[in-house]
Chains A and B, each alone.
Chain A
């Protein structure tokens, strides 16, 4: 029998009861929500910050721009102001610009709340101010250069003039200052323009040109000085020498061609002018000599006339001119032939029968309006032509006119007064100051005639020299006023005459009053106020003339009956004036003796 043996049957199992868990939590997956929220919040924060950034930028940019604009406007104004100030004081302009702009910058910055904006504004403002300051500096520099140049130009001009016109020491000094020191012939060191070049006012080329120009100016001024000297000398030869000198190119080598041409023209013109002046002067001397002779003759003639009148006055000690004396004067050219003729006629007793008031007034008027002495002398000549038997101005009136004319020649106060009150009188009586346009004494019916009578009376009173212009004016104006009230064509009698008649209104006069008036004039009583005769000889003549006119006036009104007998032949044929009629009516008196000495 087989014996059983044991073989191992059991196996070791690898399995165990417990198992390993493979579950694992994923942290990333578990926090996805938080992560998403974080991302959202991050985006919100990012966008918020971006928005904030944009808004802040915009707000700050706006604030900054506003302040910068304000500053820019202020800077522009300051720049203009600085430019203006720099023209007179460049340093002050720069100082004021710096001071004012800094003050304004700080003021504007002080108004900014945002520190960043303030910082940026201060930064940009400083830059702007500096930038503008560069411009202002340039302006200031330009102004300084301009002022410096102006000084140099002014000094150059002074030195050029000194070199051209100064004495030797002044010239040497001025040359040294202007052109420098000549170290070798033609080579200079220093000088005004060289210094200006060193100072930066000019370039080297400009400096050289200015020096050359100065040399040219010196030559030009020298020549001009010579031309002036020649002009002062009044010698054409002198001017001709200058012309020849300047025409030679060897002389004045630095003279610019255009200047030389101009100076040649000037010198040439001067030669012509001096030559013409020389000729003209010669002519003038001749004219003057002729004029002097005329004045001398006129004076002599007047002296003869005056002597003639004075000698004919009662108790006069003056010797009357004789035919021999006037002939001697004529031979020595003391009087001309015309004057000789007039004087000779007077000596022979030939005077004008009566003065034409129109002519007399015309002479006075023309004298008053004369523009120069030549015109006055010409009028005096004309007066002389009106004297004599065929003339229209009697000797006494002619003497008065000539006396007035001499007063105008001498420009005396009296003649000015005469002229002044004549003008006032003309205004008072309604005449224009330009002159009187009337027919004369012989047509006594118009307003013009009254005016002519008034003016003739005024000039006669003043010309006599016994009545002042103002007194003559008062008298004539008063008479003229009376005349108007009586509708007469002549001046009323004087108030004293009216009193002597005893009737204030001429319309009430009759033939007896006329006789009474004539008697009063002839008597010419002593005025107790002046202890002199009431009327001067001239006034006597004028009053007699007036009485004649009153008589004619009353006659036309039919108030004179019967008519006073009048045997005067001239009067009957109507060829003479009422003054003549009047004179014929009265007995010869002092006036008559003057007019008709023989």
Chain B
């Protein structure tokens, strides 16, 4: 009588252990999947931020070009008011210098925008990779759970057999 009850307890315990290990693997897989989704989301966000940065800088450059054109017209008018001939001499030099400064400004802006975009893209890529990694983790966690479950069953059977053989 005692032996039968003991056998039942051992079998139920072993099966439950195996089920627990399987459930644990499944749960861990779900967690890793969730984390991967977050990473995907962050990657998309970085891409949007990069696109947004370029768009904003192009808008700033357009705005700067408008301001510079207004400045160039005012300079020409001032030279003319003073009677200076704008196409030669100093006025010309001033106009060239201003134009050079304006071009440099646009170039700087574009360069900075490109750098920011690249940074954001790199960040998104990293998130993408992390997401992939988490999905991999999830799969492995599930596989590990299943393996542990099988190991538990095997261990239970093995222990039972060992006990039967050695008790």
**Which A residues fall within an 8 A CB radius of B?**
1, 3-6, 8, 10, 12-14, 16-21, 23-28, 30-31, 34-35, 37-49, 51-57, 59-60, 116
Contacts and interface: CB of A to CB of B under 8 A. Distances in A.
Contacts of A55: 2-3, 6
B153 to A, nearest CB: 10
Given A6-B98, A44-B13, A45-B156, A51 B165 contact: no
A44 B16 contact: yes
Chain A residues touching B, majority SS: helix
Contact of B75 (A4, A39, A41): A4
A214 to B, nearest CB: 64
Given A17-B52, A41-B20, 9 more contacts: A1-B78, A3-B82, A14-B116, A23-B38, A30-B27, A42-B20, A45-B17, A48-B11, A59-B3
Shortest 6 CB-CB contacts between residues of A and residues of B: A38-B20, A45-B13, A48-B10, A41-B16, A48-B9, A44-B13
Contacts of B94: 3, 5
Contacts of B15: 41
Given A4-B74, A6-B98, A20 B3 contact: no
Interface of B: 2-3, 5-21, 23-24, 27-28, 30-32, 34-35, 38, 41-42, 45-46, 48-50, 52-53, 56-57, 60, 63-64, 67-68, 71, 74-75, 78-79, 81-82, 94, 98, 101-102, 105, 108-109, 112-113, 116, 120, 123, 127, 137, 141, 152, 156, 159-160, 163-165, 167
B101 to A, nearest CB: 7
Given A10-B60, A41-B17, A47-B13, A1 B82 contact: yes
A48 B79 contact: no
Contact of B102 (A6, A30, A42, A51): A6
B71 A20 contact: no
Contacts of B19: 37, 41
Nearest to A17: B52
A48 B109 contact: no
Nearest to A6: B71
Contacts of B67: 6
Contacts, number: 186
Contact of A45 (B16, B41, B116): B16
A48 B31 contact: no
13 contacts: A1-B78, A5-B98, A10-B63, A18-B52, A21-B38, A24-B35, A37-B20, A42-B20, A48-B13, A51-B5, A52-B9, A54-B6, A55-B2
B57 A3 contact: no
Contacts of A14: 116
B160 A49 contact: yes
Contacts of B75: 3-5
B164 A34 contact: no
Contacts of B34: 25
A5 B113 CA distance: 26
A9 to B, nearest CB: 8
A19 to B, nearest CB: 7
A327 B165 CA distance: 127
A43 B152 CA distance: 12
A48 B167 contact: no
A518 B162 CA distance: 133
Given A18-B52, A23-B38, A27-B32, A52 B45 contact: no
Nearest to B112: A12
B109 A10 contact: yes
Most chain B CB atoms below 10 A, which of A4, A27, A44: A27
B45 A21 contact: yes
Contact of B6 (A17, A28, A37, A52): A52
Nearest to B2: A55
B27 A49 contact: no
A21 B130 CA distance: 13
Contact of B32 (A25, A37, A47, A48): A25
B71 A4 contact: yes
A21 B41 contact: yes
A54 B24 CA distance: 32
B7 A43 contact: no
A35 B9 contact: no
A35 B20 contact: yes
A28 B24 CA distance: 9
Given A25-B32, A31-B28, A46-B13, A12 B57 contact: yes
